[in-house]
Amino acid sequence: MSESTTAVVVGAGHAGLAASHFLTERAIDHVVLERGEVANSWRRERWDSLRLLTPNWLNRLPGHHYGGPDPDGYLSMGEVVEFIDRFAALVDAPVRTGTTVTSVRRTDDGYRVRTDRGELACRTVVIASGACNRPAVPRLSEALPDTVEQVTPFAYRGPDQLPDGGVLVVGASATGVQLAAELRRSDRPVVLSTGEHVRMPRMYRGRDVLWWMEAAGVWDERHDEVPDLTRARRLASPQLAGTADRTALDLNVLTDLGVELVGRCAAVRDGELLFSGGLRNVVALADLKMDRLLNTFDEWADVAGTGSDVKPPERFEPTRVPASTRLRLDPRGGEIRTVVWATGFRPDYTWLDVPVVDEKGHLTHDGGIVDSPGLYALGLPVLRRRKSTFIHGIEDDARDIVDHLADYLAGRG
Amino acid sequence: MTAIDSIDNGVNVQALLEAREVLKGAPEAAQFTWRSTTRWENGVHTTSTVKNFFGLGAEQTHKAEASFTADHPEVFAAEDHGITPIEYLLVGLGSCLTAGIASVAQNRGIQLRSVEATLEGAHDIRGILGADSDVRNGYDGIKVTFDIDADASKEDIEALVAQSQKRSAVFDALTNPTDVTVHIV
């Protein structure tokens, strides 16, 4: 006879712990299953120099917020782990660490959760295992010659770990621009391959751009109000870094550092990397979208009014693109010794034996309510709101999901 | 009547949006094959015809067969019965981007009054002549200049032009490599 509980939460990151907080508040009996330790991905799957993109004052979880001396700073990974650890203690979450879920199956009255430490029967399951379980590396990587070292952000810790010589960074999300800058500063030649990306200044009109995202209500936009939800859910992370000097890290900054820009990595043919000739357009799209976002901020400020420290509207230099960019690069020439694949991440649902994953590996859900009774998700991009994947974005989502879950248990769902 | 209903660029955006929804769930119907046949006339003069294609799970036919003459100009020591094949690439790109602009404008409720694209492809012919093996055969670069008169701000027009490139088949075909196989029967 296996153990039973009402709800099983998969994952003890900030999302799973927030779910636990609201489940406890409603006295719903539950356990949180964690393959490693609390905040495991933050501990083991991030590079050394990474800091949170959100300023400290914005880091809040239900009943828990940053109380340290530097509200405008950005937490290091160690500090994020401490922050989430403190939250776990505060919530007194029933976490079982070192417990890997190997299978979740439907039963007549709920789900059977199999782990490497035994089975649990439950009525409902909350999937809070994260959106970034595996680096997504394009298939064309397989065609690269063996002389080139290939690294994903999961394995990357710092420049010292890479062989001397040039690096091609593929992808210009937050990850790609941060690693390109760091590698360039380590005195390596760096080429950055850039497809569609999201440009953002770090500071706008004297305030953190993420202050504007929150104040102007952009982050609160609900999933059912977002015009193109599919696109919004697969958008790259914005080109931001949490550095002490609070400076921008856009393509112009990288160009000034000496990083060479090329188009999207389109193919490897006869061992040679081929890049798109469409760089100028992806850059134009990103500049236009940034300006549109800044217009949104200005329009909000005109109506709402802002503090006297907020400076007048400003616009930033358009992204400079070289008159001609390279369309091919032969790594066998020795110019590039390493390729860093900053091409995004995918969730891993190989353990989920419920038919709710589409052909692209994404969960089929409506605002976190998965297409199987009693099954829920948290912490995925634009799950219920634009802020869903940010630490401060989890509270509203977790409350909504646990409300729905409680209604379901009461036979009202 | 809303502003979007009253603008008319002659594009049936509703049908395109509906097709997008339908094809999301039916990827097999979205598989098209475009075809053309080229017949050698004489010298570097050819005639190509286009009539049939495959799509939506069935053979399809254009209303009429289209015929295209290609040749090379007299400075290439040819008879100039028609434009050069590489000029057809400019024709394809210009018409694709312009069609995209009309479609995106319709979808965004922007009335177009006139759109004119001027295309220039820079081409070092030492490549095709085999005069310098470091010179590529194709274009070094293509420059497209749009002159657009529309009921829209400069930013909205820039966004139209950017979006039309983002969704253009020919822009993609020219900027990204494509696998080409050639057989003999």
- CB count, 10 Å around CB of A107? 10
Beta bridge pairs of residue B143:
B120
How many percent of chain A have pLDDT more than 70? 100
Nearest alpha carbon to residue B20 among A247, A251, A152, A230: A230
Residue A1 is predicted with a pLDDT of 53
Residue A413 is predicted with a pLDDT of 57
Residue A209 is predicted with a pLDDT of 97
The chain B residue lying nearest A292, using CA atoms, is: B155
What residues in B contact A284, CB-CB < 8 Å?
158, 162
State how far residue A193 is from chain B, nearest Cα, in angstroms. 13
Q: Do residues A226 and A382 lie in contact, with contact meaning Cβ atoms separated by under 8 Å? A: yes
Q: Do residues A316 and A241 lie in contact, with contact meaning Cβ atoms separated by under 8 Å? A: no
pLDDT digits (tens, 9 = 90+) for A139-185: 999 999 999 999 999 999 999 999 999 999 999 999 999 999 999 99
Q: Which domains does chain A have, with CATH numbers?
A: 3-133+347-409 (3.50.50.60), 136-341 (no CATH)
What residues in A contact B174, CB-CB < 8 Å?
277
Position of tokens 């989920």? A352
B4-7 long-range contacts, Cβ below 8 Å, gap at least 24?
A: B4/B109, B7/B105, B7/B106, B7/B109, B7/B110, B7/B111, B7/B151
| Residues A288, B166: C-beta atoms closer than 8 Å | no
What residues in A contact B124, CB-CB < 8 Å?
none
d(CA A21, CA A88): 9
- Report how far Cα A348 is from the mean position of its chain's Cα atoms: 14
Indicate which of A139, A228, A265, A276 best probes the interface with B, i.e. most B CBs within 10 Å of its own CB. Answer: A276
**Pick from A266, A276, A281: which is nearest to B162 by CB?**
A281
State how far residue A221 is from chain B, nearest Cα, in angstroms. 21
State how far residue A295 is from chain B, nearest Cα, in angstroms. 12
pLDDT band for A309, please (50, 70, 90 cuts). Answer: confident
Q: Which domains does chain B have, with CATH numbers?
A: 84-176 (3.30.300.20)
- Report how far Cα A158 is from the mean position of its chain's Cα atoms: 20
State how far residue A174 is from chain B, nearest Cα, in angstroms. 22
Interface of A with B (CB under 8 A): 196, 263-264, 266-267, 269, 274, 276-278, 281, 284-285, 288, 291-292, 324
In chain A the first and final C-alpha atoms are separated, in Å, by 29
d(CA B55, CA B33): 7
Residues whose CB falls within 8 Å of the CB of residue A191, separated by 6 or more in sequence, listed in order: A166, A167, A168, A169, A259, A260, A261, A262, A326, A329, A336
Do β-strands A149-151 and A336-341 pair in parallel, antiparallel, or remain unpaired?
parallel
User: Hey, is A311 helix, strand or coil?
Assistant: coil
The reported pTM is 0.92
In the structure encoding, which two tokens stand for residue A101, read together? 């879920």
Indicate which of B108, B136, B175, B179 best probes the interface with A, i.e. most A CBs within 10 Å of its own CB. Answer: B175
| Residues B166, A284: C-beta atoms closer than 8 Å | no
Residue B79 has φ and ψ, to the nearest 5°, of -95, -10
Q: Do residues A348 and A133 lie in contact, with contact meaning Cβ atoms separated by under 8 Å? A: yes
Containing A88, the helix (H) or strand (E) segment is: helix A77-91
User: Any idea how long chain B is?
Assistant: 185
In tens digits, chain B (185 residues) has pLDDT values of 345 567 899 999 888 889 988 898 889 999 999 999 999 999 999 999 999 999 999 999 999 999 999 999 999 999 999 999 999 999 999 999 999 999 999 999 999 999 999 999 999 999 999 999 889 999 999 999 999 999 999 999 999 999 999 999 999 999 999 989 999 99
Q: Do residues B105 and B138 lie in contact, with contact meaning Cβ atoms separated by under 8 Å? A: no
| Residues A285, B176: C-beta atoms closer than 8 Å | no
Residue B2 is predicted with a pLDDT of 44
Average pLDDT over residues A284-293: 96
Where do runs of H (alpha helix) occur along A202-306?
A: 209-215, 229-233, 251-257, 279-304
Position of tokens 């010298």? B43
Report, in angstroms and rounded to the nearest whole number, the Rg of chain A calculated over CA atoms: 22
State how far residue A263 is from chain B, nearest Cα, in angstroms. 9
d(CA A287, CA A198): 8
| Residues A278, B165: C-beta atoms closer than 8 Å | yes
In the structure encoding, which two tokens stand for residue A69, read together? 């001396």
Position of tokens 């998965």? A370
Distances (CA, A) of A271 to A148, A164, A329, B177: 10, 21, 9, 14
User: Hey, is B88 helix, strand or coil?
Assistant: helix
Q: One-letter amino acid identity for A396?
A: D
pLDDT band for A190, please (50, 70, 90 cuts). Answer: very high
